[in-house]
Amino acid sequence: MDWCIREGIHFFDPGAGSAHKIRRGFRLCPNRSWHKFFDPLLEELFVSNIDAINLREEENIALLNAELPFK
């Protein structure tokens, strides 16, 4: 980040990731991806659980972002 400031970089995308971003001073944000499953059982497991997983991830993101020292 120091290099970006020195070089006049106004935007820096820290990329996808999770809680390690907090330690580096970045807010977490949801990320989207597309999955294609060729195994019907695996696809069913994914489809039947993804909504609950996404909800937990959104809650976790909000909790972690609340710990940041800036708004």
Confidence band for 7, pLDDT divided at 50, 70 and 90: very high
Report the pLDDT value the prediction gives residue 17, as an integer from 0 to 100.
Answer: 65
Closest by CA position to 28, among listed 36, 40, 19: 19
- Phi and psi (nearest 5°) for 55? -60, -45
Chain centroid offset of residue 22 CA: 11
Give per-residue pLDDT as tens, 14-51.
776 677 777 777 888 888 888 889 999 999 999 999 99
Report the pLDDT value the prediction gives residue 31, as an integer from 0 to 100.
Answer: 81
Asked if pLDDT for residue 8 goes beyond 90, the answer is: yes
Instruction: Give 27's contacts (C-beta < 8 A, 6+ positions apart).
Output: 21, 65, 68
Report the pLDDT value the prediction gives residue 68, as an integer from 0 to 100.
Answer: 83
